[in-house]
Amino acid sequence: MQEKRISVHGIGLNVLEAGEGPLVLLLHGWPELAHSWRHQLPVLAEAGYRVVAPDLRGYGRSDRPEALDAYTIFHLVGDVVGLVDHYREERAVVVGHDWGSIVAWGAATLRPQRFRGVCGMSVPYVPRMPVAPTEMMKALAGDRFVYILYFQEPGKAEAELEADVRTTLRKLYYTASGSLPDDHVFDLDLPKTGRFLDPMLDPEKLPAWLPESDLDLYVESFERTGFRGGLNYYRNLDRNWELMAAWTGAKIEIPALFVGGAKDLVVTGPPGGPGNPILAAMPAFVPDLRGQVLVEGAGHWNQQENPDDTNAALLEFLAGLD
């Protein structure tokens, strides 16, 4: 596995690269790095693929533009297409987790001719809604806390998250994982005056899937960069909605796969609830959906928590494309 810095469309990206063969791009989520694909890079490379995982713009050792509007879906998809161009390929497979999923679905929507397959993890494909995202959230939330709305004001979330980066990441990685006790009721009903970390649990010891050395790597990176780059993705949700007007009703026409943790609240919804209706609706929006895989025992970080089952799903999907 090699670490390189490359330039695509004027943006410097730090990438991890392994293997030779058809190109597969792995896009991380928030708040993560290319390192979150450490269990996938060698396995996919050994299976005969050239695998590239970038620190997305705003993260790690990649460039972090100052302008808030430098993080739109057009910029992010442009970076992904730039990677395909850099490796002199006509087409690639794009795999994303969390925010990386949104970018991957966006790439499949905006430039389908450059991608022969797409896999989204944790975040299913959602077509453009008739109302701007934050307006919809405000209407549904009333006087209750919604973390995406909390993230909208520049500087506010940064102050909370950066006060103690190690504690922030330890709490977030643990609380959103499948390591949380089954009998724990995750309280999402916070007042509007709440803060992001208020409902998070701090583990007495790290779960087995997150060794101290890996946490150290994440902490070092976010202590150096802060969280602003990743938070700017959220701050462009309404701008993305405006930019994507011409793609209202667009479907994902290329072969697709969805993978999520069986204990991920983003995928399943709160315990005892009706589940995530988007999963049931996805086949209507994604005609060539080749599977919805729920990874046992995993929460939100499925490719780190249960890499064996995640890798098996990816390899089967990739083999089907070949």
* Cα separation of the two ends of the chain: 23
- Establish whether 75 is a catalytic residue: no
Q: Per the structure block, which two tokens stand in for 45?
A: 């490379």
Taking alpha carbons only, the member of 235, 224, 218, 222 closest to residue 155 is 235
CA distance 198 to 47: 43
CA distance 316 to 294: 14
- Establish whether 98 is a catalytic residue: yes
Pairing of strands 50-54, 23-27: parallel
Catalytic residue among 98, 187, 308, 309: 98
Size of the chain in residues: 322
Q: Per the structure block, which two tokens stand in for 291?
A: 């599977």
What single string gives the DSSP state of each residue in 165-201? HHHHHHHHHHHTSTTS-TT-------BTT--TTTT--
Taking alpha carbons only, the member of 244, 253, 314 closest to residue 284 is 253
CA distance 265 to 262: 9
Contact 307, 40 (CB under 8 A): yes
| Angle at the Cα of 96 from the Cα atoms of 33 and 106, rounded to 5 degrees | 120
Catalytic residue among 63, 75, 300, 309: 300
Contact 298, 263 (CB under 8 A): yes
- Name the residues annotated as catalytic: 98, 300
